[in-house]
Structure 1
Amino acid sequence: MIFEMTIQFRVTNFKEGLHWYNLLFDKDPDFIPHEGFAEWEIVPGSWFQLAQGEPADGSGPLRLGVTNLEKVKEKLIKELGLDGVEIHSRPEVPVKWCTFNDPWGNRIGLFEYLDKVEEARRISELN
């Protein structure tokens, strides 16, 4: 039985990476066990690890669900200096989404459910 999930991205400049991901996740790490390594619990049982090192070729994307994609996109443009981030949708897909790179080439995606009842149901399952 799978009960938790962890994904790890590596960055060549840990100090800059820590700052960048603090802004992305809007919080400090939950756990820093040693120098060059930090972890955030994104949602219960889902952890993101940031490690000092060379990014893996083709790393990601890490996809994160948000409740207001346009608002988060504007925040990331302002705080992280992202540009060229486009929101996409397709009639047969129940979400809209965008994908971008961190400064080290790791892929990150954001998505928002179009069906707000479904979104609320999924969020309520976290509590």
Structure 2
Amino acid sequence: MTIQFRVADMERGQRWYQMLLQREPDFIPHEGFAEWELIPGCWLQVAEGEQATGCGPLRLGVESLEVERERVIHELQVEWFEIYQREEVPVKWATFADPWGNRIGFFEYHEDFEKVERLAKFASR
């Protein structure tokens, strides 16, 4: 599986996503294109070009939504964003935008057992 976001300035875009993901790209096949393997077989592609309308959100699981929100606000100059939760949903979530308008978000499980169960299902595949 892949998801692709486009950025108008590839150098700036690659740096921004490196800071977001806290690591270098896993693969740069050619100029104007970088990829990160988020989990085995699931790739985030960042490509230079005109942004497609309505991309995302791509939501990434985190240990603490509040900690990650503070980090991206300070390190990436993301605008403050709301964290949402509903009683019947096992996660809380939030969505924000990169400098090019691509929608990204985070989610956090309410209970550790939920996270463990999901990871166990993934590992067994």
**Is 1:51 aligned to 2:43, yes or no?**
no
- 1:88–1:97 CA contact under 8 A, matched in 2: yes
**Is 1:78 aligned to 2:56, yes or no?**
no
What TM-score do you get using the length of structure 2 for normalisation? 0.92
What TM-score do you get using the length of structure 1 for normalisation? 0.91
- 2:73–2:80 CA contact under 8 A, matched in 1: no
Measure, in 2, the Cα distance between the counterparts of 1:79 and 1:126: 32
1:63 maps to which of 46, 53, 59: 59
Measure, in 1, the Cα distance between the counterparts of 2:71 and 2:117: 25
Measure, in 1, the Cα distance between the counterparts of 2:114 and 2:53: 35
1:117 maps to which of 113, 116, 124: 113
**Is 1:26 aligned to 2:22, yes or no?**
yes
Q: Number of paired residues?
A: 123
Q: Point out where structure 2 has 5 or more consecutive residues left out of the alignment.
A: none
Measure, in 2, the Cα distance between the counterparts of 1:45 and 1:108: 19
Pairwise CA distance, 1:84: 2.0
Q: Could you tell me which residue of structure 1 aligns to residue 9 of structure 2?
A: 13
Pairwise CA distance, 1:67: 1.7
Partner SS state of residue 84, structure 2: coil
Q: Deviations over 1:50-94 (max 9, x none)?
A: 000001011111111112111111111111011221111111211
Measure, in 1, the Cα distance between the counterparts of 2:95 and 2:42: 20
**Is 1:98 aligned to 2:94, yes or no?**
yes
Q: Point out where structure 1 has 5 or more consecutive residues left out of the alignment.
A: none
Measure, in 1, the Cα distance between the counterparts of 2:92 and 2:51: 27
Q: Percent identity?
A: 57
Measure, in 2, the Cα distance between the counterparts of 1:14 and 1:94: 36
Partner SS state of residue 93, structure 2: strand
Measure, in 2, the Cα distance between the counterparts of 1:45 and 1:73: 27
What is the alpha-carbon root mean square deviation over aligned residues? 1.3
